[in-house]
């Protein structure tokens, strides 16, 4: 019996790579406006997919397969994080 | 004593609003390539901020204040989700 699972996909630059978008938000917006307690900002793209599957594990596997097949991210530059939405 | 907290900020279109980016990914990419078990895709922007604060609650409050002050999102069109990163 298949159910609908809500799967969160987060695509972000790898931690060892720079994140120009986050650096700009941090430097030119946040620090200029005096929010000095914010030390770093990293950005990412979030997709939430509703996936039909018989289990959480199957749903996550389908999404992983899809992200790789459709090149939704670039494995060289991005890290991919897939989890079941709370 | 202040610590560094990692706070996740997700900005997405409100659930009752359409999400053209997600609709396009779903219709023109995912379904065309045969991933029929993916029923819906919604997109969002994720920011992860490192925030200096004395508690998780204070860190989240600082981020909420910042998102509103700097107009990091549009309260009319977007929903904002702030949580402590695992």
Per-residue model confidence as pLDDT tens digits over A49-79: 999 999 999 999 999 999 999 999 999 999 9
Whether residues A44 and B48 touch (CB distance < 8 A) is answered with: yes
The answer to whether residues A24 and A41 touch, using CB atoms and an 8 Å cutoff, is no
CA torsion, ordered A21, A23, A28, A32, to nearest 10 deg: 140
pLDDT above 90 (res B6): yes
Residue A42 neighbours by CB under 8 Å, 6+ apart: A12, A13, A19, A22, B47, B48
The pLDDT value given to residue B1: 76
Q: Please name the residue that has the structure tokens 């980016």.
A: B21
Task: Pick from B39, B48, B61, B65 the residue to mutate for testing the A interface (most A CBs within 10 Å).
Answer: B48
Q: Please name the residue that has the structure tokens 């939430």.
A: A48
Nearest residue in B to A39, CA atom: B50
Q: In angstroms, rounded to a whole number, what is the distance separating the alpha carbons of residues A49 and B71?
A: 27
Burial of A50 (0-12, 13-18, 19+ CB in 10 A): middle
The pLDDT value given to residue A1: 77
The answer to whether residues B8 and B48 touch, using CB atoms and an 8 Å cutoff, is yes
Taking the model in full, what pTM does it have?
0.90
Q: Which two tokens stand for residue B78?
A: 């977007």
pLDDT above 80 (res B72): yes
Q: Which two tokens stand for residue A43?
A: 């950005």
- pLDDT (tens digit per residue) in A9-47: 999 999 999 999 999 999 999 988 899 999 999 999 999
The pLDDT value given to residue B80: 97
Q: Which two tokens stand for residue B24?
A: 């396009």
Q: Please name the residue that has the structure tokens 């992200």.
A: A67
With beta carbons under 8 A apart, name residues in chain B contacting A50.
38-41
């Amino acid at each position: 019996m298949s159910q609908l699972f809500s799967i969160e996909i987060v695509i972000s630059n790898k931690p060892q790579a720079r994140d120009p978008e986050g650096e700009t938000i941090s430097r030119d917006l946040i620090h200029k406006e005096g929010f000095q307690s914010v030390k770093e900002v990293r950005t990412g793209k979030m997709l939430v997919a509703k996936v039909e599957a018989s289990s959480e594990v199957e749903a996550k596997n389908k999404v992983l397969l899809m992200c790789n097949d459709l090149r939704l991210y670039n494995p060289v530059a991005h890290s991919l994080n897939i989890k079941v939405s709370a």
